[in-house]
């Protein structure tokens, strides 16, 4: 039987980390090829190619780097890959997955995974997560689902995934909707059908900047007052509750929204912003009147990625459509 082709890229992160000198902690040092060698039997499932595109802690990634990884992944599909798997650090896993999902045009799966325990620790979860991710990327029922993340036996859609614990093995969840699927006895089992997707064009510029500020009790407005002068092209606010800010913040946000696009999301970690419930100064109705877009279920970090991409392809005026689509 002719086996399908599977492409794997290693970017670094905890899944690639080993101890160097005693007492100095773990750092990225395990290549994709070495990680692949820890998964016997994978070559019975697919013809696997692996490349190490970086050995970075995921906080060191940037949009330019992710665009280069995306180009690599698209090339693998052009070369006949049935699916693509990317290993990276979990600190920014939810953001990288969403970045790719906004730009992934193919029916073939793009699957991200990582690890919460380094390769140096007993019970390291990286090999199991990678094998699960490969199974998902090869599964016929994974097609047309965009970018997904596989961790700890669960499959999550990029748009719903959040890291909700700093160190626990079960660090990832999908608030509001739950996982999209599970790995059961080596079978890829989805819990619901694929949803329609909208894919953005690639950004034509990448030098622009989008700020993310979090509302907090009794916060001053100094950064808001200077956000345009500082050269930012867009602003995302992680607001209180259903998308609220203080009266002073509301005033300054109104000024900013006349100059650059502004999105207000909820900082709570779950749930949606409101649209027509609260009428006080700084409530969502007040902010909408001031020209602000409400993020709905899109978390602040992912709203920032969306706005950066939209500005990059000169579609920032369409932000409401993508937030509510």
Q: Which residues are catalytic?
A: 14
With tokens 């773990």, the residue in question is 26
**CA-based R_g, the chain, Å:** 21
- Residue 198 CB neighbours (<10 A): 8
HEC string of the chain equals CCCCEEEEEEEECHHHEEECCCCCCEEECCCHHHHHHCCCCHHHCCEEEEEEEEEECHHHCCHHHHHHHHHHHHHHHHCCCCEEEEECCCCCHHHHHHHHHHHCCCCCCEEEECCCCCCCCCCCCHHHHHHHHHHHHHCHHHCCCCEEEEECCEEEECCCCEECCCCCCCCEECCCCCCCEEEECCEEEECCCCCCCCCCCCCCCCCCCEEEEECCCCCCCHHHHHCCCCCCCEEEEEEECCCECCHHHHHHHHHHHCCCCEEEEECCCCCCCCCCCCCCCCCHHHHHHCCCEECCCCCHHHHHHHHHHHHHCCCHHHHHHHHHC
Structure-token match 């607001």, residue found: 239
Beta bridge partners of 211: 235
Strands 110-113 and 83-87: parallel
**Cα 148–88–211 angle (5° rounding)?**
85
> Rounded to whole angstroms, how far apart are CA atoms 304 and 92?
13
């Amino acid at each position: 039987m002719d086996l399908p082709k599977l492409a794997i890229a290693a970017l670094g992160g905890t899944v690639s980390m080993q101890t160097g000198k005693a007492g100095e902690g773990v750092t990225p040092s395990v290549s994709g090829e070495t990680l692949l060698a820890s998964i016997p039997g994978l070559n019975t499932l697919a013809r696997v190619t692996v490349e190490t595109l970086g050995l970075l802690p995921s906080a060191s990634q940037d949009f330019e780097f992710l665009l280069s990884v995306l180009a690599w992944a698209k090339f693998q599909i052009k070369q006949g890959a049935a699916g693509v798997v990317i290993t990276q650090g979990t600190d920014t896993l939810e953001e990288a997955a969403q970045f790719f999902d906004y730009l992934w045009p193919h029916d073939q799966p793009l699957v991200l995974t990582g690890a919460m325990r380094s390769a140096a620790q007993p019970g390291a979860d990286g090999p199991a997560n990678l094998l699960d991710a490969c199974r998902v990327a090869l599964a016929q029922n994974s097609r047309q689902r965009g970018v997904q993340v596989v961790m700890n036996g669960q499959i999550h859609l990029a748009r719903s995934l959040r890291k909700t614990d700093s160190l626990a093995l079960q660090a990832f969840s999908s608030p509001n909707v739950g996982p999209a699927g599970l790995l059961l006895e080596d079978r890829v089992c989805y819990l619901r059908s694929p949803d329609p997707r909208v894919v953005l064009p690639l950004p034509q510029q990448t030098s622009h900047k989008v700020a993310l500020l979090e509302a907090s009790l009794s916060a001053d407005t100094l950064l808001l007052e200077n956000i345009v002068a500082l050269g930012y092209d867009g602003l995302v606010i992680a607001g209180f509750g259903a998308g609220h800010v203080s009266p002073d913040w509301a005033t300054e946000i109104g000024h900013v929204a006349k100059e650059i696009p502004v999105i207000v999301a909820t900082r709570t970690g779950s749930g949606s912003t409101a649209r027509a419930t609260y009428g006080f100064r700084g409530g969502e109705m007040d902010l909408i009147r001031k020209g602000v877009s409400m993020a709905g279920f899109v978390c602040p970090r992912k709203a920032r990625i969306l706005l950066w991409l939209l500005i990059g392809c000169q579609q920032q005026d369409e932000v409401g459509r993508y937030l509510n689509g």
